[in-house]
């Protein structure tokens, strides 16, 4: 589809003119990057500081007066960060990290007959070149991970589809690594699936993904509507595509890839033997014997499936794809389902259809150009999440009251007002959705998914802005706040904890059927200390301002949630993080929750145990540093370097627990202040987030919101400790 291009051997310099990229922000925080071609257009739409920062250009901001106190450092931090606020009130940001999303975009577009602009294509190539492992030239499951067959096989293929010649040094090196790891035969299940769609892996080499499960009665404990929302939303279009055995028509590139991806002769491969062939470098969650047995049975069913039944099942999967597309304005839940849904719509509705066109438009919401090139993000942004933290930080630290910051906070409140979902989904029960009325999602209103903790953080931020500041209007009505509360209350699980998007709908044993091999704990929802805390802290703040609404329910919910948090604490003291790295992240949340019910260092053995654990982990330089491997292995693993953001989380934890000794807090504060640059910003350090146990994901805005929050809070806290000790 693309002509082979002459790609430089080094990707350090942009392949396009970086002064021509612009981020368009509209429609409730939707962001898309555009390449401005003419000089006139460039002049009419000048690059702003948001564009420049994320493109890695110097903002040339003057040095600020050096901070002498933590509060001054926080203020300098916000003087910088304010430049990254968009005109609509939110802080756009890059949301990269996973290395299996861009190939889905490239392969999915290719098999659906959709192209990229030349600039997008060139910068995607550059991104992949920049992200190749410096030693072996492969790619991992995420930017910091070791090379795997999943990462290397898919990204190699993406570069070829994008038009890079097989003899380009990047590809020669990557191919050698791919072959060393066993070749594409050993790619994990989702890799097999993408390659099969491209017709460079035989469908016979896949474990079955039958659509017939959608015809089973809903009450069955393993019915797919009970699976974790991401798993089922990906499974819907996959089951369609498997059901019709979609594959791209052969062409020269496909014939060539069949040679390049495999150390052995493609046509000699015995495909059924490849179904469970997964490279050791990739394997995280091996199949259970039960799952293997089910697969054997399903594979025999494939040979005798009844055509009318298959057709009915494929039609049902198609119907669910349409409902999802329409519920989310063609964003879909995330970038994997997005591309699978697109292929389904291209197959069923054709390239002239409105659905196809809508998918093409919304494809851009996930594409982001950073300083290393163009990537595909984990979601269509982290808009709500970033607005939530920085606004709370500003209000709690008092920085919100400064004249210089008022306008920025007003805009943030307007953004929050517009981002709240006011209705249930268009297709509600028919697409197995949870209520969305009153909720906030992780990114934009259009994406349209309730997330428990995003609703919590959205509500807290709104309450802070509307009730703790004298200059703000009451944009979000009491009724709408009550709706948010209702939705959160509807999300508590019987053990008291809160999961991510929905209630836990399926039994724990469903995890034995985890097909993904590379991710852990993905079959059902689980409760998380992080989500639980955001919900109950927001309920507690809501209750202060609206003491008459569902008081008993709120009280019971908080008490039950605390019981869950008690049970989730690790014996040594911390809590395991599932969405941030790792123990420092979750412990910060859990200790905030415990403080709600008066459990602090002085009053609670649990809180003390957690603080003592953290203090033991503090490094000689005053900071904390934890590797993403803590999340994989579920035990504390030191990072080679101290991490500024984790240091903030650890110090916040101690403050939530009202830790009585200033020293560890002061040392943490000094470390964070020492890393601040003269313009008030902080440099990017290691990746901050994680999901599904193994995949790291970037939260680059955390390096502003958390130090600002922590430093401002520590300023007050340390003063209080001092006052206490002298009185
Ligand atoms: C996210 C990002 C945000 C995150 C928090 C709000 C931080 C969390 O507390 C709850 C879960 C949630 C919403 C979350 C779930 C899983 C996501 C959507 C992601 C980590 C971003 C990307 C990831 C998604 C699964 C990536 C696509 C890959 C698949 C395996 C389908």
Model confidence pLDDT, tens digit, residues 110-123: 999 999 999 999 99
What's the mean pLDDT in 420-435? Answer: 97
What's the mean pLDDT in 3-24? Answer: 91
Residue 414: helix, strand or coil by DSSP? helix
Q: Which residues pair with 624 in a beta bridge?
A: 643
What's the mean pLDDT in 631-635? Answer: 97
ipTM: 0.94
Say yes or no to pLDDT of 78 above 80.
Answer: yes
**DSSP state at residue 656:** H
Residue labelled with tokens 């390096």: 703
pLDDT tens-digit profile of 432-474?
999 999 999 999 999 999 999 999 999 999 999 999 999 999 9
Per the CB < 8 A criterion, the answer to whether 317 and 211 are in contact is yes
Say yes or no to pLDDT of 333 above 60.
Answer: yes
What's the mean pLDDT in 690-708? Answer: 98
How distant, in Å, are the alpha carbons of 453, 529, 593, 597 from that of 563? 18, 11, 11, 11
Which candidate, 437, 522, 528, places its Cα nearest to that of 224?
Answer: 522
The answer to whether the CB of 381 is under 6 A from ligand 1 is no
Say yes or no to pLDDT of 601 above 60.
Answer: yes
pLDDT tens-digit profile of 644-667?
999 999 999 999 999 999 999 999
CA of 579 to the centre of ligand 1 (A): 8
Q: What percent of the chain has pLDDT over 70?
A: 99
How distant, in Å, are the alpha carbons of 7, 46, 117, 120, 580 from that of 14? 11, 19, 16, 12, 31
pLDDT tens-digit profile of 240-284?
999 999 999 999 999 999 999 999 999 999 999 999 999 999 999
Q: Whose CA is nearest to atom 8 of ligand 1?
A: 579
Q: What percent of the chain has pLDDT over 90?
A: 98
The answer to whether the CB of 500 is under 6 A from ligand 1 is yes
Number of continuous H segments (helices) and E segments (strands) in the chain: 26, 8
The answer to whether the CB of 696 is under 6 A from ligand 1 is no
Which candidate, 389, 318, 327, places its Cα nearest to that of 348?
Answer: 318
- Based on the residue annotation, tell me whether 453 is a catalytic residue of this protein: yes
What's the mean pLDDT in 81-105? Answer: 98
* Nearest-angstrom CA–CA distance, 77 and 393: 11
Mutate to test the pocket of ligand 1, among 230, 285, 333, 687 (most ligand atoms within 8 A of CB): 230
Would you state the pLDDT for residue 2? 64
Q: Whose CA is nearest to atom 25 of ligand 1?
A: 230
Per the CB < 8 A criterion, the answer to whether 171 and 159 are in contact is yes
CA of 132 to the centre of ligand 1 (A): 24
453, with CB counted inside 10 A (0-12, 13-18, 19+), is buried
Say yes or no to pLDDT of 1 above 60.
Answer: no
Q: Which of 3-17, 412-426, 585-599 is least confident?
A: 3-17
What's the mean pLDDT in 193-204? Answer: 98
Give the pLDDT band of residue 388 (cuts 50, 70, 90).
very high
**pTM of the full structure:** 0.97
Q: Mean pLDDT score of the chain, rounded to an integer? A: 97
CA of 307 to the centre of ligand 1 (A): 37
401: tokens are 């009251």
Mutate to test the pocket of ligand 1, among 324, 338, 378, 520 (most ligand atoms within 8 A of CB): 378
190, with CB counted inside 10 A (0-12, 13-18, 19+), is buried
pLDDT tens-digit profile of 118-161?
999 999 999 999 999 999 999 999 999 999 999 999 999 999 99
How distant, in Å, are the alpha carbons of 24, 486, 547, 553, 563 from that of 543? 38, 13, 5, 11, 20
CA of 28 to the centre of ligand 1 (A): 20
The answer to whether the CB of 377 is under 6 A from ligand 1 is no
Say yes or no to pLDDT of 4 above 80.
Answer: no
Would you state the pLDDT for residue 727? 75
Would you state the pLDDT for residue 27? 85
Say yes or no to pLDDT of 477 above 60.
Answer: yes
Say yes or no to pLDDT of 3 above 80.
Answer: no
The answer to whether the CB of 531 is under 6 A from ligand 1 is yes
Mutate to test the pocket of ligand 1, among 101, 442, 521, 705 (most ligand atoms within 8 A of CB): 442
Among the listed residues 51, 282, 417, 453, the single catalytic one is 453
CA of 691 to the centre of ligand 1 (A): 6
CA of 398 to the centre of ligand 1 (A): 31
At residue 265, φ and ψ (nearest 5 deg) are: -70, 120
What's the mean pLDDT in 321-329? Answer: 98
pLDDT tens-digit profile of 519-528?
999 999 999 9
* Nearest-angstrom CA–CA distance, 296 and 21: 51
* Nearest-angstrom CA–CA distance, 561 and 492: 8
What's the mean pLDDT in 677-682? Answer: 98
What's the mean pLDDT in 484-512? Answer: 98
């Amino acid at each position: 589809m693309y002509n082979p291009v002459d790609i430089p051997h080094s990707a350090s310099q942009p392949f396009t003119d970086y002064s021509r990229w612009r981020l368009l922000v509209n429609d409730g925080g939707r962001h898309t990057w555009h390449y401005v071609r003419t000089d006139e257009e460039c002049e009419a739409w000048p690059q702003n500081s948001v564009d420049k920062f994320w493109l890695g250009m110097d903002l040339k901001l003057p040095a600020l007066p050096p901070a002498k106190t933590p509060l001054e450092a926080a203020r300098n931090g916000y003087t910088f960060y304010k430049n990254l606020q968009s005109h609509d009130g939110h802080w756009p940001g890059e949301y990269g990290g996973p290395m299996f999303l861009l190939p889905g975009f490239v392969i999915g577009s290719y098999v659906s007959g959709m192209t990229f602009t030349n600039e997008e294509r060139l910068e995607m190539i550059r991104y992949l070149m920049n992200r190749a492992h410096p030693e072996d030239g492969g790619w991992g499951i995420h930017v910091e991970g070791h090379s795997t067959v999943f990462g290397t096989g898919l990204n190699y293929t993406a570069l070829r589809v994008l038009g890079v010649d097989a003899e380009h040094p990047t590809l020669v090196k990557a191919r050698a690594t791919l072959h060393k790891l066993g070749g594409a035969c050993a790619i994990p299940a989702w890799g097999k699936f993408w390659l099969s769609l491209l017709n460079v892996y035989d469908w016979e080499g896949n474990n079955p993904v039958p659509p017939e499960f959608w015809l089973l009665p809903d009450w069955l404990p393993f019915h797919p509507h009970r699976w974790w929302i991401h798993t089922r939303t990906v499974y819907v279009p996959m089951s369609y595509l498997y059901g019709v055995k979609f594959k791209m028509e052969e062409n020269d590139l496909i014939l060539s890839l069949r040679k390049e991806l495999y150390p052995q002769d493609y046509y000699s491969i015995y495909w059924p033997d490849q179904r469970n062939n997964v490279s050791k470098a990739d394997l995280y969650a091996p199949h259970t014997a039960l799952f293997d047995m089910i697969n054997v049975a399903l594979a025999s069913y494939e040979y005798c499936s009844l055509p009318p039944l298959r057709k009915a099942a494929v039609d049902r999967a198609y119907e669910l794809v349409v409902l999802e597309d329409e519920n989310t304005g063609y964003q879909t839940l995330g970038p994997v389902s997005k591309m699978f849904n697109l292929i389904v719509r291209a197959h069923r509705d054709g390239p002239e259809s409105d659905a196809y066109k809508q998918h093409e438009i919304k494809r851009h919401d996930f594409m982001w150009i950073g300083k290393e090139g163009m990537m595909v993000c984990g979601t269509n942004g982290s808009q709500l999440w970033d607005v939530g933290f920085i606004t709370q930080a500003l209000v709690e630290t008092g920085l919100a009251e400064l004249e210089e910051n008022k306008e920025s906070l007003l805009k943030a409140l307007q953004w929050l007002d517009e981002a709240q979902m006011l209705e249930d989904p268009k297709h509600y029960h028919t697409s197995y959705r949870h209520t969305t009325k009153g909720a906030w999602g992780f990114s934009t209103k259009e994406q349209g998914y309730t997330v428990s903790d995003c609703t919590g953080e959205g509500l807290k931020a709104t309450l802070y802005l509307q009730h703790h500041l004298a200059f703000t209007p009451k944009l979000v009505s009491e009724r709408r706040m009550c709706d948010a509360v209702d939705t959160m209350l509807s999300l508590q699980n019987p053990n008291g904890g809160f999961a991510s998007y929905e209630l836990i709908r399926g039994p724990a044993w469903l995890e034995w059927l985890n097909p993904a091999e590379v991710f852990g704990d993905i079959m059902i929802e689980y409760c998380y200390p992080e989500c639980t805390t955001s919900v109950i802290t927001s309920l507690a703040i809501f209750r202060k301002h609206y003491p008459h609404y569902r008081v008993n329910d709120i009280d019971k919910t908080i008490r039950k949630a605390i019981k869950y948090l008690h049970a989730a604490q690790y014996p040594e003291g911390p809590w395991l993080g599932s969405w941030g790295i790792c123990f420092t992240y979750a412990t910060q949340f859990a200790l905030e929750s415990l403080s709600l019910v008066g459990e602090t260092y002085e009053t609670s053995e649990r809180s003390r145990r957690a603080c003592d654990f953290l203090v033991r982990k503090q490094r000689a330089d005053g900071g904390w540093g934890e590797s993403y491997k803590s999340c994989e292995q579920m035990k504390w693993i030191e990072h080679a370097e101290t991490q500024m953001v984790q240091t903030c989380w650890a110090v916040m934890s101690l403050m939530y627990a009202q830790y009585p000794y200033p020293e560890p807090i002061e040392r943490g504060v000094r470390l964070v202040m020492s890393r601040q640059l003269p313009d008030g910003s902080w440099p990017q350090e290691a990746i901050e987030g994680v999901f599904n146990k193994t995949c790291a994901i970037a939260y680059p805005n955390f390096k502003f919101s958390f130090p600002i929050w922590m430093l401002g809070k520590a300023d007050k806290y340390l003063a209080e400790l001092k006052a206490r000790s002298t009185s």
